[in-house]
Amino acid sequence: MRFGRSAAPASDSALASGAVQPGRRNARLGWRARLLAVGAAALALPIAAAVAAPTVAQANPVAAPVHRTPPGGQEELMVPSSMGPVKVQVQWARNGGNAAMLMLDGLRAREDRNAWSFETNAQEQFGNDDVTLVMPVGGQSSWYADWATPSNTNGQKFTYKWETFLTDELPAFLANYGVARDNWAVGGLSMSGPAALRLAAFHRDQFKYAAAFSGPLNWNAPGMREAIRVMMLDAGKFNVDSMAAPWSPQWLRQDPMVFAPQLRGLPMFISCGNGLPGPADNNTSPVGLFNTGNAMALEAISMVSTRSFQSRLNSLGIPATYDFPNQGTHKWQYWQDELAKARPGILAALNAG
């Protein structure tokens, strides 16, 4: 039986010892056998204790998991969460350090890989650094927020709880691998630009640095909510109202212009292109021209909101490092370049250089 034991039949040795046979002679043999058994047990006890007794580690197994790759190696983990298991790609710190760099994906985040791992050379950039790259997979149109309800326009079966995952469940899980809970940086682009700033603003005990590339950083701008609505419907048919009701506290909590004061004292890198095509733009085909046109428009919107956010921080006397290249559209190649510019500040803030 799986959950119990079957009764064992009386053994031949038990019968021979007199344990189950009547008679005086057999009783004497039984007592002798018992005395011999007790003596043998007494002699064997120290040996058994030395050989078979469980050690503390055996009695209470160490919970910390074992790295399947050496320091600097890459690994995929399945991390428990209230949303179900979440795949997380990691590249362990080169020298086994405890710092972490959280790299958030864009609006069209895929379910198989985080785009930082294949659209950019981010892993090569940090390949010799003592910081673990943490790249969660999934979260399309989530804005990496805790939503109010599941999206009701695409049949979503669960409620997004990305902020809880990234600031509680994931750090707790990685702490078992030696990643500190209080020595993280976070970077995001486009959708995840404001998310990176929000996570750092509300979780200062975890994050020591934040970088935002080409993010819509002014959610109060006229028409911005409806623009976000259209983008989310286009990327997975998600409903912005399921994330947060219009102008509700939950909505305002996600607006960088509102939570800006909470960024005081945090090292930040904020950048955006101006929307003019550059070397990464393919203008040699109709499809290339169409994609470039979209990327130009998105980057122009990001530029206006990023400049507004810069003015907001300046009015509060909060410094940040800014970079506004004289060309660049809404594309991964430009975010790769900006990440390289942010890298020295990231390493310095994490003491991981």
Active site residue ranges: 190, 299, 330
Q: Which pair of tokens denotes residue 212? A: 């935002």
| Gyration radius of the chain over CA positions | 30
> Are the C-beta atoms of residues 256 and 218 closer than 8 Å to each other?
yes
Angle made by CA atoms 75, 173, 177, in degrees to the nearest 5: 60
CA distance 251 to 146: 11
Provide CB contacts within 8 A for 267, sequence distance 6+: 208, 209, 210, 320, 321, 345, 348, 349
| Helical H segments across 128-221, by residue range | 162-164, 170-175, 192-202
Q: Which two tokens stand for residue 133?
A: 């790259």
Could you tell me which residues come within 8 angstroms of residue 136 by beta carbon, excluding any fewer than 6 positions away?
Answer: 86, 87, 88, 89, 102, 104, 105, 114, 165, 166, 170
Which residue carries 């959280």 as its tokens?
102
Nearest of 230, 196, 229 to residue 214 by alpha carbon: 196
Handedness of CA 195, 201, 202, 208 (dihedral sign): positive
d(Cα 217, Cα 271) in Å, to the nearest integer?
A: 11
